[in-house]
Structure 1
Amino acid sequence: MHSVLDRCHRTLFAVLSLLGVRGQERLLHRYFDWWHRRPDPWGLAVDDYEQFKYATTLRQLPARRYRRILDVGCSEGTFTHRLAAAHPEADITGADISERALARARAAGPAPRFVRLNIVTTPPEGRFDLVFCAELLYYLGRARQLRRACAHLTAAVAPGGLLVLVHPWPEARRFCAYIEAEAGFRLIAEHVERGGCRPFAVSVYEAAGAADHRAPRRPAEHGRRTGRGA
């Protein structure tokens, strides 16, 4: 069932992307505001699969200090607030296209900070040590929009910083290819969760530092047991 729904979902957003960047932005804004007419429409705060995915994502991060963190496509801020709990010393920003979602995210507490952003049309302000983009890129449709979004994502990463993509597997490989086409980024960790009916991948990219001349390396792929259900 998930695979059928996913195919319908991808077809819909591929068609929307034919409207051009501005037309697509207007429709996506309305679409996500409509979805957020009620709180937590996808059950991100309570669904076991989502909680497992959040925990799996955080486990892939290198143990280092992150001063500025950005969560792109944050919805109502469920993962963003989890980041704030895990990194209380960091300046954390959540960004989303839906004003309704952002209003609920802000209502949950004075921090993190939440801003409206369409990653296709507008790059984030400033640069960050850690940038997340989860379950977002498949909404963008055509290659043109994906290239723009990924260029904006990589531009937001400070030298030596990390960009983390989290998307369904094996579709995630298609999105990762756009990041790998950007100069100065190397894959340092990738976890593929193959269990259950909703496999996903967490891919961690590191931006070159000011004096980083190391040759890129591709890590071994890791996966958990295959018996876990969603």
Structure 2
Amino acid sequence: MFENRTPPGIILGGFGLAAIAGMVNAVGFLGAYHQAFSHLSGTATHFAADLAQGHATRAALAGLLLISFLLGATTSGLIIRDSHLQPGRRYGVALVIEGLILFAAVPLLQRHLMLGGALAAAACGLQNAMATTYSGAIVRTTHVTGIVTDLGLALSHRLRRSPGRAGRTRLLAALLAGFLVGGSIGASLFDVLNYRTLWVPATVTIVAGCTHVVMRQFKFV
């Protein structure tokens, strides 16, 4: 079964990507706009509520984040051209682009320009769409609602003593842990680096992306 064959590299990669999203999201919450960059449920609620209450500027920011996340996901789909995690796909290119977008977001956020938040959201959308499924399991690396839901279902299987899904549970736990660890690191770094905290996930994604491109070139993946 898939659950018992999840490669360690997939689990480690999922942890790392979720940690990156956690760092980016911490910057969003601690920055001037106090907005999530890596997921959209709260953003959509902000947009609807602010629009209804006549807060045009705040509604515009939320709407811009929604559109930017969508454009990031669209870009990912154009680059990778598949919704399933498969060896040899152009994940490295997507990661490098994500890192460059995050670097570009920093000076704009430092000047409190909404475009900076839009770029950060686009980077998260790009990452989240990189691999939407792996062997039938939904893989989301920028938010935790689905992860916690799936973990709850896995717990119900254990309580009912149904056949185990150990591998899938490990992957989900790694994603949740990565997001929490990344959020903690991002919050700690924000006290020192402010928006320059995004340099960390930007650097990590570019290095990881370049590594993947080289490995793909030499047929290692």
Tell me the TM-score normalised to structure 2 length.
0.26
More strand by share: 1
More helix by share: 2
* Larger RCO, structures 1/2 (Cα 8 Å, 6+ apart): 2
> Which structure has the greater CA radius of gyration?
2
Tell me the TM-score normalised to structure 1 length.
0.25
